[in-house]
Amino acid sequence: MSAERTVAIAGATGAVGQEMLKCLLERKFPVANLKLLASARSAGKTLPFGEQDLVVEELTPASFEGVDIALFSAGSGISREFAPHAVKAGAVVIDNSSAFRMDEGVPLVVPEINPEDAEAHQGIIANPNCTTIVTLMGLNPMHKAFGGVRNIIASSYQAVSGSGAQGIIELEQQVAALVKGEPVEPRVYPRQIAFNVLPHVDVFLDNGYTKEEMKMLNEGRKILHQPGLKASVTCVRVPVYRSHAVSVVAQFEEEPDLDRARQAIEEAPGVQLKDDPEAAVYPTPLDTTNGDDCLVGRLRKDLVLDKALSFWVVGDQVRKGAALNAVQIAELL
């Protein structure tokens, strides 16, 4: 690893910010100095980092003096406001929000897929959407093996932690109430999430898809350098605490071979093949929670589309879908 760096985390008290702290520590990132930044109401709190207790500071435009790498996980509005200050101070921003993902001059990077794109940064590198990352981690080995992916049809099964801590609290409270026979009142979600699934993640657009569903198309094109990629996606919230799962049908330029697909997945970094359905060996959210790798199973020839495979991929969306991916980008730097 290269020389030690001064690192700042904007949004350090959130779930992803705290996961970034874990990843920096576990991966022995060369941190010379670590600044934890958050809103004024969180200033003064302490968070553990190894044997240290670090004090959270209020995020201001002046927070980034002397910072080499700024990890942002505080929402797109905060990123839009403060990332330019970080860049002006000389830091490289790795942003976990949607603020800059589709900006032409901002690389959108998954280190196992397109690490070379990070070299073209102009001060900001974007972290893709968590569902996009998990999907493409499973897809990319086959994308490379079979001449490129042409079309994707996917349905996601997204954990409530994707909505932050309040999503988890709402699920817990609703389950507890229903067990007692008490009524529930949805607050975070538009409908009851306990013992239910909701085909509604993010806001709906004029075309009938949600913003979350369109992210896989638009971000997938950019990450894979496939401007002609087509994707039809349905994103679903499920009553699971952590880790997203995605059912994918992918159509390729070349005729796919199952043995070659399995080999490509097994050889790819950050991905594991767990595919023996008769023995109940297939990925579930519990298998990936707090884990780095995405797991792929249920791999089979699609029965509708030519040159297509169906598969199931699961990954921890707080970790690989957010915090770990950002720290891996920092390692590229």
pLDDT tens sequence across 5-46: 999 999 999 999 999 999 999 999 999 999 999 999 999 999
85 is annotated as an active-site residue: no
Q: Which residues contact 64 (CB under 8 A, 6 or more apart)?
A: 8, 70, 85, 86, 89, 90, 91
Q: Residue 115: which domain range?
A: 5-127+323-332
Average pLDDT, the chain: 96
Same domain, 169 and 302: yes
Beta-bridged to residue 237, according to DSSP, are 158, 198
| Contact call for residues 224 and 145 (beta carbons, < 8 A) | no
Q: Which of 23, 85, 121, 130 is catalytic?
A: 130
Q: Identity (one letter) of the amino acid at 43?
A: A
Q: Average the pLDDT over 222-246 and give the result.
A: 97
- Same-domain check for residues 38 and 137: no
Give the 3-state DSSP-derived string for 220-272, with helices as H, strands as E and coil as C.
HHHHHCCCCCEEEEEEEECCCCCCEEEEEEEEECCCCCHHHHHHHHHHCCCEE
Element (H, E) at 275: none
The string of pLDDT tens digits covering residues 172-203 is 999 999 999 999 999 999 999 999 999 999 99
- Are residues 211 and 82 located together in one domain of the fold? no
Clarify whether 244 is annotated catalytic.
Answer: yes
Torsion of CA 196, 198, 202, 207, to 10 degrees: 180
Query: Percent helix, strand, coil in the chain (nearest 5)?
Result: 35, 25, 40
| Residues 66, 168 within the same domain | no
pLDDT for the residue 117: 98
114, 230: one domain:
no
Which of 299, 249, 291, 292 is closest to 274 using CA atoms?
299
CB contact at 8 A, 231 and 150: no
Assign residue 259 the CATH number of its domain.
3.30.360.10
Clarify whether residues 120 and 77 are in a common domain. yes
pTM (predicted TM-score): 0.95
| 27 shares its domain with 166 | no
Query: What are 75-134's pLDDT values in tens digits?
Result: 999 999 999 999 999 999 999 999 999 999 999 999 999 999 999 999 999 999 999 999
Nearest to 266 by CA among 172, 138, 154: 138
Same domain assignment for residues 248 and 234 = yes
Number of domains in the chain: 2
DSSP structural state of residue 148: -
Q: From CA 198, how far away is CA 273, in angstroms rounded?
A: 28
Q: Are residues 28 and 177 in the same domain?
A: no
Residues 230 and 247 in one domain: yes
Q: Do residue 219 and residue 328 come from a single domain?
A: no
Averaged over 304-331, what is the pLDDT? 97
Alpha carbon separation from 60 to 13, 44, 83, 107 (Å, rounded): 16, 14, 11, 25
Q: Residue 10's domain is classified under what CATH number?
A: 3.40.50.720
Gyration radius (Cα) of the chain, Å = 20
Distance CA 207, CA 156 (A): 19
- Residues 158 and 250 grouped into a single domain: yes
